[in-house]
A and B are shown apart, each in its own frame.
Chain A
Amino acid sequence: MAEGENKGLVLLDFWVSPFGQRCRIALAEKGVEYEYREENLRDKSPLLLKSNPVHKKIPVLIHDGKPVCESLIIVQYIDEAWPDRAPLLPADSYARAQARFWADLVDKKMYESGTKLWKLKGEAQEEAKKEFIEILKLLEGELGDKKYFGGDTFGLVDIALVPFTAWFYSYEACANLSAEKEAPKLVPWVKRCRERESVSKSLPDPLKVYEFVCFLKKLCSWHVNGHLCRPEYIVGGFRHGRLTSFVG
């Protein structure tokens, strides 16, 4: 049993993180109240370090003092902890397996591939673009003519993917890649998702995302190594979408 002071929901998050946004969307879909706490990723809170000692990453959802980590695991937890409303996964076990497969694909592919688009240049960037377009087309094919990836109901795959749409502007600006042109069938889906309050309230302004990406690019040009820059290792200078200090 949790002590009184530990009751309720806390989401440890970072404003631009698509993974954090997934959790915000899920919580909003369920209409559940929670406390949002912005983490400074260069100066992680003791609560974050205690709640996710293995990875020390956001998002972390703390429910009555008990932490849940990994965004897709958090979304499924939210779905199972509030089963009485707004189901995020289908009832049928085969359909659930399909949803998990596609959400997992988004997880495996979108972040790494998207990061390459703004981080790399020249030939490497062209390769990254080809890769990214392939992923978009794959997703476009899977969506088909459906309202959402799961059919008529907004769910896990939509939640997994939609936060990355806030980065489309940045991909176009940095890599001259228009997601809308490459995967036009996704456009009505994006619009449909953004019409949901859970989504429109959780996703950042694409221009702010671009500002953030430009900041990261500057940082990455100061870090000479072959690794993909992960925001969580670098960022501390961004708070609430405004640049407050530089790192490095």
Chain B
Amino acid sequence: MAAAALIGGWPSPFVLRARVALNLKGVEYEFLQEKYGEKSELLLRSNPVYKKVPVLLHHDKPVCESMIIVEYVDAAWAKSGQAILPADPYERALHRFWAVYIDDKVRMPPSISDLLVPSMFGIAKAQTEEAKAESVEQAWAALKLLEEAFEKLSKGKAFFGGGTIGYVDIALGAYLGWAKVIEQMAGLKLFDEEKTPLLAVWAERFCAHEAVKEVMPETEKLMEFAKMRLGK
């Protein structure tokens, strides 16, 4: 095995976070794709607590939980590429706050398997039109807050991290593939140019970034995967 290996699945936004971080640092790693529907021995051994992907194996030592992996990659390869978290303790606290907020709002239903279909603010799960409309309103409200956070953190630059992709960009950007799926399935725009103009532009920019574009799953493939998982 290479010095760095990542256990994961291509549809998972959490796995994507780890891959983007590794790409930003130019780390060579082996991508150990889990077979859909099965959990490998290696995964169960490496993450006995949650039995979930992603797991980063660095010299065979496992690191679990996507944003913990991102922070670890930032520290372990501090000399390569740009810093993912800012140096200033207060700025770091702000970035960590928004990453936690993002995960809190874009909830993943625990009942579905590890190659998850994100509930994306509950829209996918919504049983009635009313419930769906409420979820959409909540989504837009959360994105509005993130739009304000973007203004504050980016300081006029391209990303939450400033000139380069940072911690919050990775946290939120990882959901963009699935956001497009939800937008198509629900017939609406989440990253709406009118409601959240800065984020709408940021979303395009993030997906086009060289650390992202090769590993961001294609919308059509995700749609197929979603349909299969939802049994449609």
Contact = CB atoms under 8 A, between A and B. Distances in A.
B72 A77 contact: no
Contacts, number: 54
Contacts of B69: 97
B190 to A, nearest CB: 19
Interface in B75-111: 75-76, 89-90, 92-93, 96-97, 100-101
A59 B89 CA distance: 18
Question: Interface size class for chain A?
Answer: 20 to 34
A69 B97 contact: yes
Nearest to A80: B89
B63 interface: yes
Contacts of A138: 49
Contact of B96 (A73, A93, A94, A101): A73
Nearest to A73: B96
B123 interface: no
Interface string B194-217: 000000000000000000000000
Given A70-B100, A73-B100, A101-B65, A94 B72 contact: yes
Interface residues of B, number: 21
Interface string A38-80: 0000000000000000100000000100101110011011001
B92 A97 contact: no
A94 B65 CA distance: 13
Interface centre among A63, A70, A101 (most CB of B within 10 A): A101
Contact of A54 (B89, B90, B93, B101): B101
30 contacts: A54-B101, A54-B145, A63-B90, A68-B90, A68-B97, A70-B97, A73-B93, A73-B96, A73-B97, A76-B93, A77-B90, A77-B92, A77-B93, A80-B89, A80-B92, A81-B89, A81-B90, A93-B76, A94-B58, A94-B72, A94-B76, A96-B71, A96-B72, A96-B75, A97-B63, A97-B69, A100-B68, A101-B68, A104-B65, A105-B49
